[in-house]
């Protein structure tokens, strides 16, 4: 039963796990965009795992490739050679521009960012690294320092030499905002600003300059950027910002890392990689999630020159580049071609964005609709003028209702109204019992 399952989860799994929904969904089966729970209830999965499934749950062709490889060989380590890793590395890098030709395979995005950090430091001989406030780059002790949001970090010894610059949020960032308020939803640019050049861009660049000046002295090892902040809440940057930021980092000897964990593999529609939507060329690309359509696979791809830095010492990873993972990754790329998933992201995404934009015009609580391709965010506010976030209980109850209608969506952002308030939500829901039932004398408490 549901109660038994909850009991098991609480007894045998870490309490750090976040469990979505008041009554969590016990997922049993998946096929393409659909999921079924153990009771046979079907859901349209718009969250795709956590922005992961890229060609469809249990896609028949990907499944077939995995099965074929399982029959042949499902494990060997990197100290041996095996055909799938070579074939896949060649195929994957054919999707990347320029000199981005050398792959290092890992099992998760966190591991891949760990490795990128190590390589940035080894290659440049510098120590300090910079990422955006509100960014998410992983949960390992190393990457926790890159991830800049208190929800995801702990007071542990991580993050030495990590610095965070203001995320250049065009909707409600410190300097974004006022002039963006009434801008039309844009589908063909990297920010939602109506004025061709976002006025906030220079302010954010000045902030980056300031971080470079006060924290890193003259030199910097690396700079991390997602093309659109995912966990941070579908945050888009001013047009042209990344290009100038990359130049600023390179002037100080640093390398630029594109975290394509959420934005890669055609999800943004117009381009295969998110960094291409900003017209920048990174020195290293970190990928996970969509790369394996949900199968554990991740990678760092960089230039031969930077890859050389890893020859200073051995760096092993037992499961990275596992034959089945490589066969899956390869089939995912084939399916992306056959099913035109990137084009689908562009077509369906644009349609979605424009339809959702109508909600913004109609409903006072829809403050912003933004994104690109099939990476879309909708920001709920109490007041469109002040942009005061819609209180947590209201957000949560809308999100619960959407689930009850058979649609799964994610939530992100850092204004505290998307998850931290489950306790408040409960309290208010329970308070309704007090109003309804004569035997409920009082409902009280705080948080959970």
Contacts to ligand PMP from residues 292-311, by CB under 6 A:
none
Report the residue from 30, 49, 109, 389 that binds ligand PMP according to the rule CB under 6 A: 109
Q: Looking at beta carbons only, is 128 or 259 nearer to ligand PMP?
A: 259
Rg (CA), the chain: 22
Binding of ligand PMP at residue 329 (CB under 6 A)?
Answer: no
Q: What is d(CA 429, CA 392) in angstroms, rounded to the nearest whole number?
A: 12
Report the residue from 108, 302, 322, 345 that binds ligand PMP according to the rule CB under 6 A: 108
Report the residue from 45, 114, 169, 259 that binds ligand PMP according to the rule CB under 6 A: 259
- Part in contact with ligand PMP (CB under 6 A); list of ranges 94-102, 223-231, 300-308, 404-412: 223-231
Q: Looking at beta carbons only, is 193 or 256 nearer to ligand PMP?
A: 256
Contacts to ligand PMP from residues 266-295, by CB under 6 A:
288
In whole angstroms, how close is the CB of 110 to ligand PMP at the nearest point?
Answer: 3
In whole angstroms, how close is the CB of 230 to ligand PMP at the nearest point?
Answer: 5
User: 71, exposed or middle or buried, with CB in 10 Å at 0-12, 13-18, 19+?
Assistant: exposed
Structure tokens at 387: 């942009």
Strand partners, 383: 388
Any idea of the CA torsion for 326, 328, 330, 336, to the nearest 10 degrees? Answer: -150
In whole angstroms, how close is the CB of 444 to ligand PMP at the nearest point?
Answer: 36
Phi-psi region of 3 (alpha: psi -120 to 50; beta: other; left: phi over 0): alpha
Binding of ligand PMP at residue 69 (CB under 6 A)?
Answer: no
Binding of ligand PMP at residue 443 (CB under 6 A)?
Answer: no
Residue where the block lists tokens 């035109």: 340
Binding of ligand PMP at residue 50 (CB under 6 A)?
Answer: yes
Binding of ligand PMP at residue 110 (CB under 6 A)?
Answer: yes
The SS3 call for residue 130 is strand
Structure tokens at 29: 């089966």
Helices (H) and strands (E) in the chain, counts: 12, 14
User: 18, exposed or middle or buried, with CB in 10 Å at 0-12, 13-18, 19+?
Assistant: exposed
Q: Looking at beta carbons only, is 261 or 336 nearer to ligand PMP?
A: 261
Report the residue from 84, 145, 168, 230 that binds ligand PMP according to the rule CB under 6 A: 230
- Part in contact with ligand PMP (CB under 6 A); list of ranges 196-204, 215-223, 257-265, 398-406: 257-265
Q: Kindly give the residue spans of alpha helices, DSSP state H, lying in 177-300.
A: 201-215, 241-251
Binding of ligand PMP at residue 104 (CB under 6 A)?
Answer: no
What would the DSSP string read from start to end of 38-90?
TT--EEEESSHHHHT-SS-BT-HHHHHHHHHHHHH-S---TTS--HHHHHHHH
Binding of ligand PMP at residue 137 (CB under 6 A)?
Answer: yes
Strands 34-37 and 27-31: antiparallel
Binding of ligand PMP at residue 231 (CB under 6 A)?
Answer: yes
Mask for 164-203, x = binds ligand PMP (CB under 6 A) = ----------------------------------------
**Positive or negative: CA dihedral 92, 98, 103, 107:** negative
The SS3 call for residue 363 is coil
Binding of ligand PMP at residue 134 (CB under 6 A)?
Answer: no
Instruction: Tell me the site size for ligand PMP, rule CB under 6 A.
Output: 15
Strand partners, 223: 130, 256
Q: Which of 93, 98, 108, 182 is nearest to 140 (CA)?
A: 108
Strands 366-372 and 255-259: unpaired
Q: Looking at beta carbons only, is 44 or 50 nearer to ligand PMP?
A: 50
Any idea of the CA torsion for 316, 319, 320, 324, to the nearest 10 degrees? Answer: 150
Binding of ligand PMP at residue 136 (CB under 6 A)?
Answer: yes
Q: Looking at beta carbons only, is 298 or 366 nearer to ligand PMP?
A: 298
Strand partners, 376: 371
Q: Looking at beta carbons only, is 224 or 241 nearer to ligand PMP?
A: 224
In whole angstroms, how close is the CB of 309 to ligand PMP at the nearest point?
Answer: 21
Mask for 362-391, x = binds ligand PMP (CB under 6 A) = ------------------------------
Binding of ligand PMP at residue 114 (CB under 6 A)?
Answer: no
| Residues near ligand PMP (CB under 6 A) | 50, 108-110, 113, 136-138, 226, 230-231, 259, 261-262, 288
């Amino acid at each position: 039963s549901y109660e038994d399952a909850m009991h098991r989860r609480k007894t045998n799994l870490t309490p750090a796990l976040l469990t979505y929904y008041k009554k969590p969904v016990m997922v049993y089966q998946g096929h393409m965009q659909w999921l079924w729970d153990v009771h046979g209830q079907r859901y349209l999965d718009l969250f795709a795992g956590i922005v992961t499934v890229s060609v469809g749950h249990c896609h028949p062709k990907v499944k077939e490739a995995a099965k074929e490889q399982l029959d042949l060989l499902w494990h060997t380590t990197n100290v041996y050679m095996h055909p799938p890793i070579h074939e896949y590395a060649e195929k994957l890098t054919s999707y990347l521009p320029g000199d981005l030709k050398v792959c290092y395979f890992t099992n998760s995005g966190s591991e891949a960012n760990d490795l990128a950090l190590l390589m940035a430091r080894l290659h440049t001989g510098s120590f300090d690294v910079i990422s955006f406030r509100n960014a998410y780059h992983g949960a390992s002790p190393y990457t926790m320092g890159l991830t800049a949001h208190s929800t995801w970090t702990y007071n542990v010894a991580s993050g030495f030499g990590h610095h965070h610059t203001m995320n250049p949020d065009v909707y409600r960032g410190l300097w974004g905002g006022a002039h963006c308020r009434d801008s039309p939803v844009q589908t063909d640019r990297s920010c939602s600003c109506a004025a061709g050049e976002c006025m906030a861009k220079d302010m954010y660049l000045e902030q980056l300059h300031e971080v470079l000046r006060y924290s890193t002295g003259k030199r910097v090892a690396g700079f991390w950027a997602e093309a659109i902040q995912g966990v941070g809440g579908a945050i888009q940057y001013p047009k042209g910002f990344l290009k100038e930021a990359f130049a600023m980092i390179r002037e100080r000897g640093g390398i630029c890392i594109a975290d394509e964990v959420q934005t890669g593999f055609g999800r943004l529609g117009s381009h295969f990689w998110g960094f291409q939507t900003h017209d920048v060329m990174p020195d290293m690309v970190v990928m996970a999630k969509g790369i394996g359509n949900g199968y554990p696979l991740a990678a760092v791809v960089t230039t031969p020159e930077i890859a050389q830095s890893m020859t200073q010492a051995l760096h092993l990873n037992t499961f990275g580049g596992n034959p089945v993972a490589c066969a899956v990754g390869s089939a995912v790329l084939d399916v992306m071609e056959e099913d035109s998933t990137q084009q689908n992201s562009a077509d369906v995404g644009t349609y979605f964005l424009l339809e959702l934009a109508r909600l913004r015009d109609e409903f006072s609580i829809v403050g912003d609709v933004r994104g690109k391709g099939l990476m879309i965010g909708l920001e709920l506010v109490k007041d469109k003028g002040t942009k005061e976030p819609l209180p947590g209980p209201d957000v949560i109850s809308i999100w619960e209702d959407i689930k009850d209608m058979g649609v799964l969506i994610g939530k992100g952002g850092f204004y505290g109204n998307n998850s931290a308030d489950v306790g408040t939500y409960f309290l208010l829901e329970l308070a309704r019992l007090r109003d309804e039932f004569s035997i409920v004398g009082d409902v009280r408490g705080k948080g959970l």
